[in-house]
Amino acid sequence: MGITKSQIISQSESALKQWREVWTRNALVAKEFEMKSLAHFEGSGAGRACLLVANGGSLETEIETIRKFQDNVDIICCDKSLGHLLDHGITPTFCLVADANVDFGVYGDKWKDQLQDTILVSSVCANPAWAKQGNWKETYFYCVKDAIATEKIFQKISGCPNVIAAGTNVSNTMLIFLTQCDIDKSGNFFGYDKYLLIGFDYCWTVHGNYYAFDHEGKGKRYYMRHNYGRTIGGDLCYTSNNLGFSLSWIQKYIEAYRLPVVQCSRDTVFPTSVVHGGWSPLEKQMQYRGSVDRKAQTSRVKKIRELLAEKRRLTESLLEGRRTQYLDFAASL
């Protein structure tokens, strides 16, 4: 399934029209928080893998594997998978929230006293209850950069310095946040050696649950049954138009920036041919050990930032000197 520039623009315009009032209200609440830069995270993942946990059925299948090997990797989860991890003794490094209407009372309140070792990463337009009510280790905010530049609106309202490209859903946004590639730059911001995907199924199997630990998905397993297919493991499955759109988007993102992504579920319609690392068992991937010195890499990134800042300072000083030279020349005529 392809995706065009006009489709992306149309989706962005429709979303802004529908949500602008709520997003503005949420961004005004976010403004009350300290707006910290994400800069010190650059390169911090070198020599390590990061597990991205979405809420597809494969999360439930692999929950014990994640619990067993959690100390080997960093973990980022989305709002709806947070409780599943905590219920099974798994502490995520990051929890990312993107949506204005995701209910903290349903997906966060039960675990609000267990969040002291997890960093919240929230859109300034997301439901502010997540930032206000959770006992988080730290809280960081970001603005979404989309095809119609809405980030300028919400940066001005909130004062947030961090901008990442827009995704089609919260699961895709986790990968965008970690890599921070967009139309202006490519790279791998956090610098993890590998990004491991679990719960990124974009479908549900005939006999499986719609979400992890949730068979019905509030009826979605029935009324969102738009298309039929087979998982890469060969099982019959269903998917929806929305899931298909999100799948198409993340495929192109991974392909365009050649990201080191490994799909660790067989209960997915995600074609492994577009994933740089292909498919591999989660248990194997969570035992990965890189050879790069993590502290050395972050030290190099810090030094580069300092040198670039010094270059900017010297350039400004040079230009000021040239302006003074010209004024002296003009005054001498």
Specify the pLDDT at position 266. Answer: 93
Low-confidence ranges of the chain (pLDDT < 70): 1-3, 274-277
Specify the pLDDT at position 1. Answer: 47
Specify the pLDDT at position 274. Answer: 63
| Residue extents of the structural domains in the chain | 5-291, 293-333
* Residues in CB range of 154: below 8 A, 6 or more apart: 23, 24, 27, 124, 125, 143, 144, 160
Residue 283, burial from CB neighbour count under 10 angstroms (0-12, 13-18, 19+): middle
Q: Please give the distance of CA 5 from its chain centroid, rounded to a whole number.
A: 21
Please give the model's pTM, rounded to 2 decimal places. Answer: 0.88
Q: At what angle do helices 241-257 and 170-179 cross, to 10 degrees?
A: 10
Specify the pLDDT at position 327. Answer: 86
Specify the pLDDT at position 15. Answer: 82
Q: Give the model confidence (pLDDT) of 220-262 as tens digits.
A: 999 999 999 999 999 999 999 999 989 988 999 999 999 999 9
